[in-house]
Chain A
């Protein structure tokens, strides 16, 4: 599912998959949410989180085997909707995390799996391998309003069109040009180390975690608004 390790000031969240393909079902999503709760509970000024994965896939979306392993189409739709709700809870957990977050994307992120790296503050990706692939259009699925708001918070204009309306499998270099990822590196070790280094540098700023999270929520104001997540005003500057 996932593991959380503390290394100095860094929380390292590793996504592990039972079948190497990292597919999200409610159990997996819950375990990631628990890991984030632990990181939040143990956070201090100067904490940062980096999410890593190993192998060909970063995250391939929902566990469709689980979704479809029911008696009826109606039940399958229910399982899908439930998976989506759990994903939304996970996004909320990432967005509320009181520390900077970096995703080190070593491989493919597809469908709902695209959301995971994008709900980090910074994304570094492999140059030589891996694509982001929003495949809803290909599957004949409308993207839920809430997730359109999520994507609109990350990018705009033609880049947004290319992300969701073109059925593209987009590589790191192109995502860098589109402003969706922050940097690209060669090899799994390259991107993982770069992700850790970036998280480390952010941690050194020793930002107030609560303030950081509130400011971050403001960058997702439409998304948070739709979920009814209120923002807190923190007005006493620590000069």
Chain B
């Protein structure tokens, strides 16, 4: 499922195994508790990298689990439930008192893409993997906080339209060119290496974690409001 490793100042969250790393209530619960652990162990100089093993970063919610409800209504309820359960995950990432990097080593679709996009920096593969919002193709509407995330993270309206309304499967080099990701590299090893390098460099700045988180939340006011995140006035001046 997911594991957490500490490597020097870096927290490395990994979705393990060769499966699609889909999210169901159990997996979401694990992820939330690992993020709590990261927050609890944070110090100045910490940084988080989220990565995955295999062909997928994450392919979204566990729709099989939703459909195992046995009825159309049951499936819709289960899906709705997972959408609600995932809000605290995004809230946790938005409030995390350290810089965060998503090492997108494979396909990131639907909530999998949303998870990646909730990080401060996105690094992706050029040779494999796509970013994809599948909702339009499978006749699902977009939850409000997904929308707010896209609106506030992706400045280019045509990119937002291409993802949400066009079901575009965007590869790494286009994602880099259109400013969706920070950078794209030629293979899994390079992506992981680049992510470590970036995270380490950000960690070296030794920013005050709570201040970092407060400024970050200020970048995404609509999303923060939807997630029920309040602001703290906090000044520790190094004048």
Contacts and interface: CB of A to CB of B under 8 A. Distances in A.
Interface residues of A, number: 27
Contacts, number: 75
Given A76-B239, A152-B221, 13 more contacts: A138-B207, A138-B238, A139-B238, A140-B208, A140-B211, A141-B237, A145-B231, A156-B155, A157-B154, A158-B153, A160-B155, A161-B219, A165-B215
Nearest to B231: A145
A136 interface: yes
A58 B212 CA distance: 27
A141 B211 contact: yes
A143 B208 contact: no
A218 interface: no
Contact of A136 (B156, B215, B231): B215
B139 interface: no
A211 to B, nearest CB: 26
Please provide the 4 A-B residue pairs with the shortest distance between their CB atoms, ordered closest to farther: A157-B155, A148-B218, A156-B155, A140-B236
Nearest to A67: B239
B235 A137 contact: no
A25 B140 CA distance: 55
A21 interface: no
Given A156-B155, A158-B182, A159-B155, A140 B219 contact: no
Describe B's contact surface by its main secondary structure.
loop
Given A157-B156, A167-B205, A140 B215 contact: no
7 contacts: A77-B235, A136-B215, A138-B205, A140-B238, A143-B218, A148-B215, A157-B156
Interface in B67-87: none
A5 B163 CA distance: 51
A18 interface: no
B33 to A, nearest CB: 26
A176 to B, nearest CB: 14
Contacts of A67: 239
A172 B152 CA distance: 24
B215 A137 contact: yes
Contacts of B233: 142
B173 interface: no
A81 to B, nearest CB: 10
Nearest to A139: B238
A93 interface: no
Contacts of A165: 120, 212, 215-216, 219
A204 B236 CA distance: 48
Contacts of B235: 77, 140-142
Contact of A158 (B179, B208, B221, B232): B179
Among B182, B205, B235, residue most surrounded by chain A Cβ atoms (within 10 Å): B235
B200 to A, nearest CB: 15
Contacts of A140: 207-208, 211, 235-238
Nearest to B180: A158
Interface string B174-204: 0000010010000000000000000000000
B237 A139 contact: yes
A157 B179 contact: yes
Given A140-B208, A157-B179, A164 B219 contact: yes
A145 B235 CA distance: 13
A126 B186 CA distance: 35
Contacts of B211: 136-137, 140-142
A139 B231 contact: no
Nearest to A148: B218
B56 to A, nearest CB: 24
A229 interface: no
Among B212, B214, B239, residue most surrounded by chain A Cβ atoms (within 10 Å): B239
Contacts of A231: none
B155 A161 contact: no
A64 interface: yes
A161 B121 CA distance: 10
A142 B214 contact: yes
A155 B205 CA distance: 24
